[in-house]
Amino acid sequence: MLVGELERYFDLKAVNQVVRAIYKPAGNDSKSKISGFAPVVAQSATMGDAVSQEILKCAGHQLGLSAATVTSKLGLSDHEFELALVGGVYRAGELIVTPVRDTIHQVAPRARVFVSDRPPVLGAARLALREIGRDVALEIRSEKVQSILGIMH
């Protein structure tokens, strides 16, 4: 199933042309093209394609290893903490989330791993603002309180 999808997506006559399609000369946006194939893999996996399922399982394990490494380096292995999974790759659901969660729990069994419904840019912006001394969450709550009080007057 996935081979046919690969041939269609990259407009190939045969699967052995995939390397050339991905590594075209400069100016080609191959990274976007490759990442755009991820939803095709996810859809094939949900339809029962074993190769696609294995790809997601391996990808989830690798993502989990990265998060587990950071968790260990930060000394969080024995702590309870939340770990938000963000990004489009997690739209594949449990096929990728379960291996991520399982891998992280090998290092940090008390981690609460969840898929965030917020875009990754919000977290990055919040961290940047926190770095310059601005607590965005506190400011938003303060604005809401002031707004409510304004309505009550």
> pLDDT tens for residues 39-95?
999 999 999 999 999 999 999 999 999 999 999 999 999 999 999 998 888 989 999
* 5: its two tokens: 């999808």
Residue 90 CB neighbours (<10 A): 20
The CA distance from 41 to 52, in Å, is 5
pLDDT value at residue 67: 95
pLDDT value at residue 31: 74
The CA distance from 55 to 76, in Å, is 29
Specify the pTM.
0.74
The CA distance from 129 to 4, in Å, is 46
More confidently predicted of 129 and 62: 62
Question: Does 149 have pLDDT greater than 70?
Answer: no
R_g of the chain computed on alpha carbons? 21
